[in-house]
Chains A and B, each alone.
Chain A
């Protein structure tokens, strides 16, 4: 029985190390794209301004162009929103009120969630820039 105690302690410390590594990975992915939030809003704002210049035009081609612009505005805005929601819901202290196994699962799923936000943000920025470069 006494022999089992060091083995259990080693296991707990291994799990804690894994939790720390998972938490760091979440923040690392977040930090990669967070500085680009301003770029997202500024692109969205620039496309909104571009859209306004075609607002009263009723030609079919311009209506579909306006819809195209609107789609990119929404993509940029939803990327911004998803990051804000992720930060709002992310629990840096999840481990304090949950067991190690549940905490590992939680941070693993958070890595997937923030990676998705990361990809969405980069895609919306890339597409938004293209839209502005290829303006009518």
Chain B
């Protein structure tokens, strides 16, 4: 009886080690996307060359509870960013389904925040976004549905796109492309995914796991 207990205990430990090894494998190194500057600095008389990647610029929008959401709100957090609107008859319902998968998958992860910007702020008031969030039954602290000045929201969409590319070419369609962006703790873009494709979101969730365990060191 006792031997059997130890045997099964050792087997369980083996399985745990295997799971641990597998989870270590998923912590892959993701590149920082977007334009960068190469800067030379003299430190202690030695020339040090640094590569500085673009950070997402400061912003001010309002969420479904009327709270001001800024870059300070997401300090030290990993973010999933998208653009949508509540009356969208085409891709947005599919995007929200995928976003809900991410929300559920990382239920116990306080360092992950979802930021959904409405590109129809005229109709998507704080009140309407509040109702929308209530229907989805999501917590405001983990998923901010944001509204604000229309031009600023579109300008932010363009900024995200430019920040994610190296050639400064921003297609005008990004705000309604269905793309999800993965932003790390340093406000740098680490991935772009197709928000209506479940397989692309599977990959994004793997990447989120890798980014969550990274330390916040500016690249």
A and B interact physically: yes
Chain B residues near A41: list those with CB within 8 A: 150-151, 154, 175
Shortest CB-to-CB span from A65 to chain B, Å, is 21
Shortest CB-to-CB span from B118 to chain A, Å, is 11
Quick check: is B172 within 8 A (CB to CB) of the other chain? yes
Indicate if the CB atoms of A42 and B154 lie closer than 8 Å: yes
Convert A34-55 into 0s and 1s, putting 1 for each residue whose CB lies closer than 8 angstroms to a CB of B: 1111111110110010000000
Quick check: is A84 within 8 A (CB to CB) of the other chain? yes
Most buried by A among B85, B173, B174, B177: B173
One of A56-64, A86-94, A96-104 at the interface: A86-94
Indicate if the CB atoms of B90 and A42 lie closer than 8 Å: no
Chain B residues near A14: list those with CB within 8 A: none
Which residues 156-183 of B sit at the A interface, judged by CB distance below 8 A? 157-158, 171-177
Quick check: is B42 within 8 A (CB to CB) of the other chain? no
Quick check: is A18 within 8 A (CB to CB) of the other chain? no
Which residues 77-123 of B sit at the A interface, judged by CB distance below 8 A? 85, 87-90, 119-120, 122-123
Known contacts being A27-B90, A37-B175, A39-B172, is A45 close to B155, with CB within 8 Å? Answer: yes
Indicate if the CB atoms of A38 and B89 lie closer than 8 Å: no
Indicate if the CB atoms of B151 and A45 lie closer than 8 Å: yes
Indicate if the CB atoms of A88 and B87 lie closer than 8 Å: yes
Point out the residue from B85, B89, B90, B151 that lies within 8 Å of A44, measured CB to CB: B151
Shortest CB-to-CB span from B200 to chain A, Å, is 18
Chain A residues near B155: list those with CB within 8 A: 42, 45
Residues of A within 8 A of B (CB): 27, 30-31, 34-42, 44-45, 48, 81, 84, 87-88, 90, 92
Residues of B within 8 A of A (CB): 85, 87-90, 119-120, 122-123, 150-151, 154-155, 157-158, 171-177
